């Protein structure tokens, strides 16, 4: 039996004393990072002294908690190293090496946090976890966006300089005998109590110090957030979110999903199948759905932008059916692909595209394939990224990605993929092949050019490659214009519907958890022979795209989609869904109801003009609809009720 003696409560008076200077270095780094991010976020901050005091206080608390986790490997090392090794002169060099490594990691983390915040306006979260998985694309993106070699050289130089400055303090921690292994184990056990308490009693919810999301982000610690995201990449809706009993939720979901032209196929409220009956002959038209990377509605002149970056899309908007009130369901490409392909509201955690056991869904692809279409997912990058190839190939699509393009098909590429012009040329080639075979085709096309580092072929537009988001948007628009011009020359153009939509907006951070304005995306449906130009101002979600386009084709089918045909919806409540990884939002009219972990529910009035949000009491009907949609979607997903088998 291990006895706890008084010496066990003095771990910093012996060899464990090295943890004290390391903790001070860690806290200093955390303080500097928080200060820099605070200055960057200042325009969006609420400068309330009480909130700022809470933010800094909670932030320092999380810094301390994070250090107790980070100290675990050092504590283990100090426990197991024998006394003769510890006292040997050469062990000082080991400690110096440890100090250098710690300083390098902390400085690297500081730079990484700044760059991450600059891109996403949040500290490390699920996105950072995704990026750790796909290091090739991410490191390549950083290399092409920033002077990486200079940054690394600066970090190494600064780490070496600080090591020389602090090594004397580290040497002083090498003190006379620290006792036997048993004594060191008792001391180490005492130190282990701190991170254990943190694991059991502390989670990230303590960072919610204010209605201002920037303050909440800064109240956390980036490293803590990274590991918290790793632990919680999929959240059980029943356990963490507000619920009613499943029977009540599913019965109300039945009422919400019933359509004028799509009655429920069964009285069993677990079955969401509807029999969609569109009048008139079915049109076997080709469909090309172009999913533009990060194309916020606010970038288009058609939505009031005056910078002139999108002349082709603006012209096309006048010739198309333009949906002016469409919302992305999330903040990542895979969330947009999930919504467009499966027509399902967002679920807590990562997208279904990235989850295990994501095969055999009732999807837009499986439906079109059953109708005799050549169905294909065409992507400018490598489809293994974000599990896209696996998901699409098992849900009704053939795959064409960067690896399928011959060298002579690629005129320009960066780490994310081939330029949009090269991608669109391949789309036309695939369409012509299907047409020659006498088959209608349905393509989902995912672009990459409007993504940092915003590089593209020189001489195409008047903005130099690699100079920022404006150039990325303008080149994406240029490539769309070239594509439309070329498609018009194809014999299959007159029988083709082209849909242009964004996967998500360019940025989703803001003062609040779910800034509604930053989920607004463009949606155009272009087919001169079949779709009359006009504007539709009804609120809609990405999950409504498939049913709406199928309605344009007068297609009748048995549907397990959650979305509705906006053009035939009649007098129903307009609604949309938005989300982060943990917060789920239901918008109807000017109301936003947000549900989150710990069964939290918040309601806001949203001003459409500027996106400002004011907290109010939720309406009963909003609560019922919100829980039925999200709880019902979770139930259907978990019980495989929207699968083919």
Please, which pLDDT band fits residue 512 given cuts at 50, 70 and 90? confident
Dump pLDDT digits (tens) for 440-457: 999 999 999 999 899 999
Of 337 and 188, which is predicted with more confidence? 337
Query: Higher model confidence: residue 317 or residue 116?
Result: 317
Q: Among residues of the chain, what percentage have pLDDT more than 90?
A: 65
Q: Dig out the tokens for 485 from the structure.
A: 């011009």
pLDDT of residue 229: 73
pLDDT at 226 over 50: yes
**Per-residue pLDDT reduced to its tens digit, 529-539:** 999 999 999 99
Neighbours of 626 (CB within 10 A): 27
Digit-coded pLDDT (tens) for 346-367: 999 889 999 989 999 999 999 9
pLDDT band at 400 (very low <50, low <70, confident <90, very high): very high
Pairing of β 584-588 and β 591-596: antiparallel
Average pLDDT, the chain: 90
**The predicted structure's pLDDT at residue 4:** 40
Q: Which residues pair with 390 in a beta bridge?
A: none
Cα-Cα-Cα-Cα dihedral sign, residues 300, 301, 302, 305: positive
pLDDT of res. 171: 76
Does residue 562 have a pLDDT over 90? yes
What is the reported pLDDT for 10? 47
Which pLDDT value is given to residue 256?
Answer: 94
> What pLDDT sits at residue 286?
99
Q: Within 13 Å of residue 11, how many CA atoms lie on the same side as its CB?
A: 23
Quick one: tokens of 446? 């995912």
pTM of the full predicted structure?
0.78
Measure the CA–CA gap between 570 and 587, rounded to whole angstroms.
Answer: 18
Q: Looking at per-residue confidence, does 411 or 6 come out higher? A: 411
Average pLDDT rounded to a whole number, residues 603-621? 90
Statement: residue 231 has pLDDT above 70? no
In order of their start, the domains of the chain are 6-231 (no CATH), 280-569 (3.40.720.10)
How many whole angstroms separate alpha carbon 303 and alpha carbon 289?
A: 21
Angle (CA) 254 256 258, round 5°? 65
Q: Contact at 8 Å (CB) between 415 and 141?
A: yes
Confidence label for 134 from pLDDT (cuts 50, 70 and 90): low
Question: What is the tens place of the pLDDT at every residue in 157-184?
Answer: 999 999 998 888 777 766 665 567 888 8
Q: How far is CA 594 from CA 259, 374, 587, in A?
A: 26, 39, 9
Q: How far apart are the C-alpha atoms of 100 and 164, rounded to whole Å?
A: 9
pLDDT of 3 over the 70 cut:
no
pLDDT at 133: 61
How far apart (Å, rounded) are the C-alpha atoms in residues 519 and 587?
11
pLDDT band (50, 70, 90) for residue 13: low
pLDDT of residue 11 exceeding 50, the answer is: no
Alpha carbon distances (Å) from 21 to 166, 168, 539, 543, 557: 9, 11, 56, 53, 68
């Amino acid at each position: 039996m291990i006895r706890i003696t008084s010496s066990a409560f003095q771990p910093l008076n012996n060899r464990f004393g090295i943890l004290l200077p390391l903790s001070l270095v860690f806290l200093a780094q955390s303080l500097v990072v928080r200060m820099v991010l605070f200055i960057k976020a200042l325009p969006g901050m609420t400068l309330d002294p009480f909130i700022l005091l809470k933010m800094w206080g909670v932030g320092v608390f999380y810094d301390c908690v994070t250090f107790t986790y980070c100290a675990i490997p050092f504590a283990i090392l100090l426990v197991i190293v024998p006394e003769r090794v510890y006292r040997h002169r050469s062990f000082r060099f080991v400690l110096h090496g440890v100090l250098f490594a710690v300083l390098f990691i902390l400085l690297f983390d500081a730079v990484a946090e700044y760059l991450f915040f600059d891109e996403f306006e949040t500290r490390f979260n699920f996105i950072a976890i995704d990026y750790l998985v796909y290091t090739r694309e991410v490191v390549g993106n950083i290399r092409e966006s920033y002077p990486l070699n200079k940054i690394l050289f600066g970090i190494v130089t600064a780490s070496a300089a600080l090591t020389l400055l602090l090594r004397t303090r580290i040497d002083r921690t090498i003190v006379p005998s620290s006792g036997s292994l048993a004594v060191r184990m008792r001391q180490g056990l005492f130190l282990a109590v701190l991170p254990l308490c943190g694991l059991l009693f502390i989670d990230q919810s303590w960072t919610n110090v204010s209605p201002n999301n920037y303050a909440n982000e800064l109240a956390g610690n980036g490293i803590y957030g990274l590991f918290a995201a790793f632990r919680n990449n999929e959240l059980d809706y029943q356990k963490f979110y507000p619920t009613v009993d499943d029977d009540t939720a599913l019965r109300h979901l039945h009422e919400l999903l019933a359509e004028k032209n799509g009655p429920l196929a069964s009285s069993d409220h677990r079955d969401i199948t509807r029999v969609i009956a569109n009048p008139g002959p079915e049109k076997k038209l080709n469909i090309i759905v172009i999913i533009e990377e990060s194309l916020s509605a606010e970038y288009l002149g058609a939505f009031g932008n005056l910078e002139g970056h999108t002349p082709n899309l603006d012209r096309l908007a006048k010739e198309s059916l333009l949906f002016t009130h469409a919302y992305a369901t999330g903040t990542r490409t895979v969330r947009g692909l999930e919504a467009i392909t499966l027509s399902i509201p967002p679920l807590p955690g990562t997208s279904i595209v990235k989850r295990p056991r994501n095969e055999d869904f009732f999807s837009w692809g499986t439906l079109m394939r059953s109708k005799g279409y050549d169905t294909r997912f065409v992507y400018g990058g490598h489809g293994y990224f974000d599990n896209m190839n696996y998901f699409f190939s098992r849900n009704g699509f053939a795959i064409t990605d960067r690896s399928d393009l011959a060298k002579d098909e690629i005129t320009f590429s960066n780490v994310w993929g081939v330029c949009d012009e090269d991608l669109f040329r391949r789309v036309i080639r695939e369409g012509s092949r299907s047409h020659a075979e006498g088959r209608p085709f349905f393509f989902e096309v995912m672009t990459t050019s409007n993504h940092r580092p915003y590089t593209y072929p020189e001489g195409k537009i008047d903005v130099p490659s690699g100079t920022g988001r404006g150039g990325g948007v303008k080149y994406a628009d240029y490539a769309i214009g070239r594509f439309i011009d070329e498609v018009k020359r194809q014999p299959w153009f007159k029988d083709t519907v082209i849909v242009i939509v964004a996967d998500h907006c360019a940025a989703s951070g803001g003062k609040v958890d779910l800034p509604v304005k930053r989920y607004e995306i463009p949606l155009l449906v272009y087919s001169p022979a079949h779709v009359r130009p006009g504007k539709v101002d009804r609120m809609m979600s990405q999950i409504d795209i498939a049913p709406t386009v199928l309605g344009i084709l007068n297609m009748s089918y048995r549907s397990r989609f959650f979305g509705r045909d906006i053009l035939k919806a009649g007098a129903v409540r307009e609604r949309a869904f938005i989300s982060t990884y943990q917060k789920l939002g239901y918008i109807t009219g000017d109301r936003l109801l947000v549900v989150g972990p710990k069964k939290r529910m918040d309601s806001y009035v949203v001003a459409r003009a500027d996106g400002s949000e004011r907290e109010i009491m939720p309406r009963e009907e909003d609560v019922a609809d919100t829980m039925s949609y999200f709880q019902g979607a979770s139930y259907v997903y978990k019980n495989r009720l929207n699968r083919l088998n």
